[in-house]
Structures are given as C-alpha cells and as structure tokens.
Copies of this chain bind each other. A is one copy, B any other.
Amino acid sequence: MTATVLSGKELSKTLSDELSVKVAAFKDEFGYAPTIAVVRAGEDPASASYARAIEKAAAGRGMAYQLHTLPENASQSEIVALVRELNADHSIHGIMVQEPLPKGIDEAAVKDALSPDKDVDGVHPVNAGRLTQVAPAGRPPMVGPFFVPATPAGGLEILKRNHVEIKGKHAVVVGRSNIVGKPMAMLLLRESATVTICHSQTSDLAAVCRTGDILCAAVGRAQMIRGDWIKPGAVVIDFGVNFVDGQMCGDVAFAETVEVASMITPVPGGTGPMTNVMLLSNVVEAAKNQAT
C-alpha cells in the first residue's frame, strides 16, 4: 500500500481563496481591511523572512499588515509597551509577536501583555485555557470565542478537509510544545479522539506510536519516526521542519512511512503552507469580533 499524500500546499490555496472572499465581504460591510501587526526584535534572519511571508500572504488576501521591528537590544519594558500600544490601537485587529525575542526577554511576560482578543496566534494563557476547557465538538459551547495556534489549527484542518474520522480514534501526539504538541492534543481531544501525548521521557516511543490511528509528529528531530513505528493504515501529520544537508525534511521518515500509512503530509508542502492562512483566518475572526 502506498499512502495518499495530503498536500497542505494545495489545500492552503483553497483556504486562501475562501479567505479572500471573507476579507472582501468584511471590507464591503465595514469599509476597512482586517489588519495584522507583527512585532519582532533583532536580526534573526528566519524571523525576518517569516515576517515577509506573512506580509505577502496578507497582501494577497487584501488584508493590511504592519511590521514593528525593535532593535536587538530592546528592553522588556519597551517590547511590552509596544504590545500595549497595539492592544489599544483600534485599527489593529490581530497581533503576532515573533519568536525568538532577544536573549534576556521574558517571553511569557510579553505574551501575558497581549490582549487575548488580538492574540491571533493563541499564545496568551487565556486562549490556551479556553482551548483546554472548551466542550467537545457538537456539545454546547461553555467558553467564549478564542484563538488556536495556527500550526496545529492547520494540521486539524488537513484532517478535516480530507474527511479523516477523528472521533473514537486513537491519536498519538509526539511532542509537548506550547505552540504545536499540546494545542494539537487539545484539538484532537475536542474532536473526541482518545489522545496520547508523548515526549522525550516516553518509554518505548516506537511502541506507543504504533498504537496511533492518527500520528502527529512535532519534535523537531529529522526523520526520527521510522516506518516501522507506524500502525498500518494510520494517518500521519508531520509538523517537523528540519534541514539535513540543506534539504528540508520532517520528523517522520517519509520514504518508509509512505509504504505503511494510509495518508501522510509531506515536508515540505504539508503542514507548513497551512500556517499563514490559518493565522490570517484568525485575524479576520478577530476583526469581526471587534467590529460587533
């Protein structure tokens, strides 16, 4: 059996087209564009490049974008002051603070300073808490609107748009970061999967992975998850972004896994291209919440 390769690149185009329609409708109704402000500090080239990618994606959807770059030696209080200023600015609907921040900056304190209503990357504890506390899908909502981090939201969207059954399935999430692993686990739990969260301390990780009907990898180690760790017929979502000899690859050994799984996201072209469109979707939701 050879797995179906789930293209996030193709899906992201569909979602981008859908988003453009929503943005146009928003502008018709309210007379202004949903606007994202990106905050970054220092010279990190990956962060600068990511900011440009968001700018390009926003422009492509008809959305407005602002970049606020602080110097490498910006102080904690300068960064927090900028975030507070953006919180109070009614022309900004979503704020994303890019990591890494310069050394010595308390990233948690910066996240805490974000208005949860503008925290379109879902990093504020209120948004993380609402995702943890939300009722299972299909049951009455028990919490208000909230934002989910874009990367795991993109992974879930790939599953849903490819009609992968989640309810009652065993989902194994490898990695427990606040930006991918834990929110992905909470999203899958909300969809009523039985969810196992694994990490560096997990005993016999291969055996645990083999119990997963859905396997999500977010560890940041190139091709760590081997083909014989995969339950035959499993659906594999690879969040890894690693480089080996200048070539991008995921956390899953693709060539081996594609022979065992029923579906798999490639790297590149899988979860990666989904992130920006999910982030920008959150900005449109934020703009709607703030307009009404």
1/0 contact string of A189-208 vs chain B (CB within 8 Å): 10010111111011100001
The answer to whether A167 and B197 touch across the interface, beta carbons within 8 angstroms, is no
Whole-angstrom CA separation of A133 from B130 in the bound complex: 12
In the complex, A186 has a CB within 8 A of chain B = yes
- Decide if B189 touches A194 in the complex (CB within 8 Å): no
Does A9 interact with chain B (Cβ within 8 Å)?
A: no
Chain B hits for A167, CB < 8 A: 201
Could you say which residues of chain B place their CB within 8 Å of the CB of A144?
108, 112
Can you list 23 residue pairs at the A/B interface with Cβ under 8 Å?
A108-B133, A108-B143, A112-B144, A125-B125, A125-B126, A125-B132, A125-B133, A125-B143, A126-B129, A127-B129, A128-B129, A128-B132, A133-B178, A136-B201, A142-B178, A170-B208, A182-B189, A189-B199, A194-B197, A194-B198, A194-B208, A195-B196, A195-B197
What are the residues of chain B within 8 A of A178 when measuring CB–CB?
A: 132-133, 142
A33 CB to closest chain B CB (Å) equals 30
Interface hits, A160-189 → B, CB 8 Å: 167-170, 176, 178, 182, 185-186, 189
| C-alpha spacing A290/B176, complex, angstroms | 32
The docked-state distance in angstroms from the alpha carbon of A91 to that of B189 is 40
Q: How far is the CB of A119 from chain B (nearest CB, A)?
A: 11
| Residue of A127, A178, A201, A203 with most chain B CB atoms under a 10 A cut-off | A201
Residues of B within 8 A of A199 (CB): 136, 189, 192, 194
Convert A112-142 into 0s and 1s, putting 1 for each residue whose CB lies closer than 8 angstroms to a CB of B.
1000000000001111111111001000001
Instruction: List chain B residues, Cβ under 8 A from A195.
Output: 196-197
Indicate how many identical chains form the complex.
2
Rounded to whole Å, the gap between the CB of A208 and the closest CB of chain B is 6
A interface SS class: mixed
Contacts of A108 in B (CB 8 A): 133, 142-144
Known: A197-B195, A208-B194. A182 touches B132 (CB 8 A): yes
A256 at the interface (CB under 8 A from B): no
Q: Which of A127, A132, A142, A178 has the most CB of B within 10 A?
A: A132
Pick from B143, B186, B198, B203: contact of A132, CB below 8 A: B186
A142 x B107 contact (CB < 8 A): yes
**A176 CA to B198 CA in the complex, in Å?**
18
Pair B133/A182 contact, Cβ less than 8 Å: yes
Chain B residues contacting A124 (CB-CB under 8 Å) are 129
Cβ contacts under 8 Å, A197 to chain B: 185, 189, 194-196
Residues of the B chain whose Cβ atoms lie less than 8 Å from the Cβ of A130: 125, 128-129
Q: How far is the CB of A215 from chain B (nearest CB, A)?
A: 14
The CA-CA distance from A211 to B196 in the complex, in Å, is 11
Q: Give the 7 A-B CB pairs with smallest separation, nearest first.
A: A129-B129, A125-B129, A128-B129, A192-B201, A196-B196, A194-B202, A168-B201
